[in-house]
Chain A
Amino acid sequence: MSKFGTFAGILLATTLSSGAAFAQTTLSMWYHGAGSEQEVSILNQITADFNASQSDWKVELQAFPQAAYNDSIVAGALAGNLPDIVDVDGPVMPNWAWAGYLQPLQIDETKIASFLPGTKGMWDGKLYSIGLWDAAISLVTRQSILDELGLRTPTLEQPWTKDEFMDALSKAKASGKFEYALDLGTAWTGEWYPYAFSPFLQSFGGDIIDRSTYKTAEGVLNGDKAVEFGTWWQSLFTDGYAEATQDPAARDAGFNSGKYAFSWNGNWAALGTLAAFDDVLFLPAPDFGNGPKIGAASWQFGVSAKSAHPDGASKFIEFALQDKYLAAYSNGIGLIPATASAAAMTENYKEGGKLAVFYGLSEKQALVRPVTPSYVVAAKVFEKALADIAKGAPVADTLDAAVDEIDADIEKNGDYGF
């Protein structure tokens, strides 16, 4: 072979090998966690691992601050520049799927058989999104408070009944040691209201929307059970157990400074409380008659309808579902891993771990919010109704008005395809 031939051969080989590196098709991804250093660094690690693990796809991440994320997605959809991969809050997913922002995932569903139910985003019989974690709420208190008030310690198998719960609040108030018996977190607005408080309604036997048809809220949000719930909800404030208007600073630091006897709060705040006291208890939700309930479904990954590479996008999501990444998220930001095997790899959720109780709560008490596109509007209506009732609005009339507003939205949108 001549020198020219050798040179041409080397050049061809170099070109082909460098071409392989450049052959990766770029997949864009939007994520809601900008500002959360650990969260973004874990996702950066996953994307780096994925990009290095194969030669077909390269994921590029763009992080958004959470408060601006949903609006950015809607604007992106309007402008026609959605990325390939998005993350979506569980209860919002049906709305985005219905609106045409998402397409079903192309992943092997046997791989998610062991995932917590709240992490699976099902809509119209198809899997649209999947979460690496879930979140859970508990009634936070201290063993010393229960002992002092002479209260039974409730368990997952035997949670407090409504009477026991009210007795606990009454005794806490009568003790005179707390400014308020219960911290409900009314300082947090937005999704907190339906996420944290609609399980109370469901435990009474009502709901935000009638899940048998998803075409109306009539009967479930203003029926006898719902009115019973609303009356109880209002009594928490009129009887002085909780604040209808709460200072955000009190929400953040009130329980730890002894202002409240009980706090209705999520697992994401648990580590801070554990650091403040050595006898913290994370109690299950009380049973108001229809079984104890807490909310389920947190942020999940999905593929945008606009993506020209749904196979690559789904491959990335499937890659991210490995236990080691589920555990990394849990260790990094305290979330509940989606699988028991991942939980066993974590510091806080393994058997005997400080937060293991939350895994049990997610498993046994969690109920996803109504799986319907109308939830996005219904959630806002529900929040307003509860805030109004807390401030003294008539219960039945307020719930009736909420039903009218939700039903009008469903009707305006042609029953959202139901």
Chain B
Amino acid sequence: MATIASDNRGLRLAVRYAVLILIAVIFIFPLIFMVMSSFKPDQQLLNDTGSFAAFLPVGDISLDNYADAFKRAPVGLFIFNSVLVTGVTVILSLLICSAAAFAFVFVDWRGRELVLTAILATLIVPFETIAIPLLLIASKLPWLGFDGLTFGWLNSYQVQIVPFIADGLTIFLFVQYFKDLPGELIEAARVEGASWGQVYRKVVMPLAGPVLATAAILKFLVMYNQYLWPLMVVQQEGYRPVMVGLQYFFQLNRAWGEIMAYLSLITVPVLAFYLFLQRAFIASIASTGVKG
């Protein structure tokens, strides 16, 4: 009986792994196609699409597409811009949204339910509906910088960062997570004389690893994939992010190899960020002992 049960368990495990491997392959194949295609000349790339050769480094392989991509567009500049804008926005967003959520969950003040409801209601408002009013506002806002006081934020980094620091979804994620934290911890800290700022910094945030990782990944993807907003507010090449830069490659005669090379290059920061946070996510759960 024990042998039959063991065999069944083995079979179930094998089936489970087979299904998981199949799903993993389905998800990873587009990435493999992209990277492999980036090494092939256009004609071969197009010919290979109908066969399994599309996923293999076969034929006339070279780095020519990468060299041509750098000639066609300032790829490094675009990646730098996107990483800068995304990185700063993610960090500021985690700070501001977690502080806001802390105030909604732990601090007792009049009207907090109403304000939270209003913020959550913004989740159903698509960005496209507020893009034009936001553009009109951004084009007239003052800014104190190295050039002194200037008006109009167009063609700058701040216009790509500031409007996206606080958002309903990130606040919502933090609120939900904070609600599940043991209230005794907060009460104990307050009884010991900790201020709200100390409770936020020394008690709540050290326990917020999982939600920080989740919110950071979501925010990173949203910011790194920004297209419409930078297209509207950035008219100088020096501030353009990667997604607007992608359009440099869509000419009348499309250079598919260069497109694949560019996509491979701009995917690197996303994968690196994900891998970095994946470890942080696991480490956070292991060290805090708080359920994720």
A and B held together in a complex: yes
Where the two chains meet, the residues of A that have a C-beta atom closer than 8 Å to any C-beta of B are: 30, 34-37, 62-68, 71-72, 75-76, 78-81, 248-249, 252-253, 257, 266, 268-269, 272
Chain B residues within 8 Å of A, Cβ to Cβ:
42-43, 46-47, 49, 71-73, 132, 135-136, 138-139, 152, 154, 231-233, 235-237, 244-245, 247-254, 256
Contacts of B72 in A (CB 8 A): 35, 37
Q: Would you give the shortest CB distance from B274 to chain A, in whole angstroms?
A: 27
**When the two chains form their complex, are residues A252 and B235 in contact, meaning their CB atoms are under 8 A apart?**
no
Q: Do A268 and B253 touch (CB < 8 A)?
A: yes
Main SS of the interface on chain B?
helix
Residue in B closest to A269 when the chains form the complex, CB atoms: B253
Please determine whether B233 and A75 come into contact, CB atoms closer than 8 angstroms: yes
- A68 contacts B231, C-beta separation under 8 Å: yes
Supposing A72-B231, A79-B154 touch, asked if A65 and B252 sit within 8 A by C-beta, the answer is: no
A81-B154, A81-B235, A269-B253 are known contacts. Are A65 and B244 too (CB-CB below 8 A)? yes
Is the pair B136, A66 in contact by a Cβ cutoff of 8 Å? no
**Inside 8 A of A64's CB, which chain B residues have their CB?**
235
Residues of B within 8 A of A248 (CB): 254
Chain A residues within 8 Å of B231, by CB: 68, 71-72, 75
Shortest A6–chain B CB gap in Å is: 39
How many whole Å from A391's CB to the nearest CB in chain B? 23
Alpha-carbon gap, A417 to B247, bound state (A): 35
Question: A interface, by DSSP: helix, strand, loop or mixed?
Answer: helix
Q: Tell me the complex Cα distance, A248–B49, Å.
A: 11
Give min CB distance, A404 to chain B, whole Å. 25
Closest to A254 in B: B46
CB distance from B51 to the nearest CB of A (A): 13
Contact A66 B46 (CB under 8 A): no
Contacts A34-B73, A35-B72, A65-B247; is A75 near B232 (CB within 8 Å)? yes
The 6 closest A-B pairs by CB, nearest first: A35-B248, A65-B247, A79-B139, A75-B232, A67-B247, A249-B46
Which A residues touch B42, using CB under 8 A? Answer: 252-253
Q: How far is the CB of A334 from chain B (nearest CB, A)?
A: 9
> Are the C-beta atoms of A81 and B152 separated by less than 8 Å?
yes
- Rounded to whole Å, the gap between the CB of A66 and the closest CB of chain B is 7
CB atoms of B247 and A269 under 8 A apart: no
B253 contact from A62, A63, A252, Cβ within 8 A? A252
Which residue of B43, B233, B249 contacts A35 across the interface (Cβ within 8 Å)? B249
